[in-house]
């Protein structure tokens, strides 16, 4: 649960505090440890683009201003000379494997010509939903492609790291 505090028409502030049992109370707003987070809407103007501010994830630049490209929480990170302005959301976007990407997959089915797999990770990023993949007999070894026996290379349940060589729908 969270409370939306009154603000102007361009800004909503969301405040929360988690107690030991995970509940929030009405007197939390009087507590000095009460956190205040700025929530931004998609397309909302965040700030003016200056030499010391730069646009990060979840933002875009238009007419000298930084705008939010998604609904989420405003996050700023300051380094020695620049402030990075980002908008972060709790939802993660699903990444699609691309050619030459390294993927982690689980073998689901093996037959003499190919094996089927379920792609779980793209690089180091865990996917919300898995993709289906196929490893052809010709793609297992660089040399002696005709001598490959799929049953000796893979078993259902094996976890593998593979490089995507082609992409089709």
Residues 12 and 37 in one domain: yes
Task: Give the tens place of pLDDT for each residue, 36-79.
Answer: 567 888 899 998 888 899 888 888 889 999 999 888 888 888 88
Cα–Cα distance, 136 to 79 (Å, whole number): 48
Residues 11 and 77 in one domain: yes
| pTM for this entry | 0.48
What's the chain's average pLDDT? 78
Q: What would the DSSP string read from start to end of 61-92?
A: EETTEEEESSSEEEEEEE-SS-EEEEEE-SS-
Residues 83 and 117 in one domain: no
Classify residue 93: in a domain, yes or no. no
Q: Which two tokens stand for residue 59?
A: 């933002």
> How much of the chain, in percent, has pLDDT values that exceed 70?
75
The CA-atom distances, in angstroms, between 153 and each of 5, 66, 138 are: 60, 52, 12
Structural domain containing residue 63: 3-88
Task: Give the tens place of pLDDT for each residue, 110-148.
Answer: 999 999 999 999 888 888 888 999 999 999 988 888 889
């Amino acid at each position: 649960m969270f409370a939306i505090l009154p603000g102007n028409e361009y800004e909503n502030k969301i405040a929360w505090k988690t107690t030991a049992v995970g509940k929030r109370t009405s007197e939390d707003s009087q507590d000095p440890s009460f956190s205040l987070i700025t929530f931004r809407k998609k397309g909302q103007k965040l700030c003016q683009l200056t030499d010391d501010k730069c646009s990060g994830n979840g933002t875009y630049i238009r007419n000298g201003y930084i705008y939010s490209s998604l609904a989420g929480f405003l996050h700023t990170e300051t380094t020695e000379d620049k402030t990075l302005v980002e908008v972060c959301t709790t939802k993660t976007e699903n990444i699609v494997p691309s050619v030459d990407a390294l993927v982690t997959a689980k073998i689901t089915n093996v037959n003499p010509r190919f094996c089927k797999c379920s792609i779980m990770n793209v690089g180091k990023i865990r996917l919300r939903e898995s993709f289906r993949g196929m490893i052809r007999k010709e793609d297992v070894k660089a040399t002696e492609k005709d001598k490959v026996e799929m049953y000796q290379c893979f078993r259902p349940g094996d976890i593998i790291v593979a490089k995507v060589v082609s992409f089709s729908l």
